[in-house]
Amino acid sequence: MVGPCPAQGESAARARRLPSDAGRAALRRAERTARSVDGQICLKWMKAAAMAAAFVFVPSLGGKGAVAEMLPQLTEARYDAPTRHYPHAVLGDDIEYSALVLRDSAGTRYRVELPADGPVFEDLQPRLWDVTGDGRAEVVVVESHPTRGARLVVYGLTQTGLREIAATPNIGTRFRWLAPIGAADMDGDGHVEIAYIDRPHLARLLRVWRYSAGELTEVAQTSGLTNHRIGEDFITSGLRDCGDGVEIITLNPGWNRIIATRLVSDGLQTRDLGVFRADVGLGDVLSCTDPQ
């Protein structure tokens, strides 16, 4: 299973969808990480067998810190192998993806292939986010199961290679999706939290999960918030820190008010920032300039 990755479907150098209104820097990063790369190592992911494949050996020169310093950085990520066998079509078309292609700073490429007719990557673009808090990027994706709906999955490099290092549970029903927002230490406790909207067209739940000890644990949720409308090929939300802590920026269900949410000791605290205008977007708000 180790060898050059198949070239089929890789002529499209970038995914058709890129997020917008998640911040200009995030958009530029998505454009940089959507490049095609030369094949070196393939990872065929067999979920049914719970296979944690390890194809890259990194020698240790000492303790855990020494190994971490030697690991290369994940620098590029894109989807490949388009498929139509999961016809949810909430992101502008009925095309999803069954493969994830990654590259690290040493030039090694990894390919995660989902089983045929199984889950798909129902997503806009893989995200290079630091989830473990070690200053190194992991890859965060949305994976949807044919009968159980979406879940958030984190892939990362370890001493033994690329692994799925954490995931949320599936929503539980076919054609139920989630829209990621961002990852940061949102409450200053030293652990990274990930925020997303669970079913932005239906339940409209903001859910926050904390990564700790190799697991994602839900720490808070609140209803009445959204960041996506059916048919749009972008997500309207993001994170900001204007000097007094991280805020999660989303919209109300009517798409006419901008809502800021903060993770506090007893849950989530929200405040209304003002009128949302679709022609303006969230760029100014994410840069700490609120509507007048």
Query: Given the DSSP bridges, would you call strands 178-184 and 138-145 parallel, antiparallel or unpaired?
Result: unpaired
Q: What pLDDT does 69 receive?
A: 63
Q: What pLDDT does 193 receive?
A: 99
The one-letter amino acid at 174: R
Which residues, including other chains, have CB under 8 Å from residue 106's CB and lie 6 or more apart? 72
Rounded Cα distance between 125 and 290, Å, is 28
Q: What pLDDT does 146 receive?
A: 97
Averaged pLDDT score across all residues of the chain: 82
Nearest one of 165, 126, 169 to 144, comparing CA atoms = 169
131-143 residue pLDDT tens:
999 999 999 999 9
Work out the pLDDT band at 234, boundaries 50, 70, 90: very high
Q: What pLDDT does 125 receive?
A: 97
Work out the pLDDT band at 71, boundaries 50, 70, 90: confident
Rounded Cα distance between 29 and 83, Å, is 25
262-282 residue pLDDT tens:
999 999 999 999 999 999 999
Rounded Cα distance between 101 and 10, Å, is 10
Q: What is the mean pLDDT of residues 68-77?
A: 86
Rounded Cα distance between 158 and 56, Å, is 9
Is the distance from CB of 218 to CB of 208 less than 8 angstroms?
yes
Is the distance from CB of 206 to CB of 268 less than 8 angstroms?
yes
Flag whether pLDDT at 82 surpasses 70: yes
44-63 residue pLDDT tens:
333 322 223 222 322 223 33
Rounded Cα distance between 261 and 225, Å, is 10
Using the Cα atoms of residue 242, residue 247, residue 250 and residue 251 in order, give the sign of their dihedral.
negative
Rounded Cα distance between 224 and 226, Å, is 7
Flag whether pLDDT at 1 surpasses 60: no
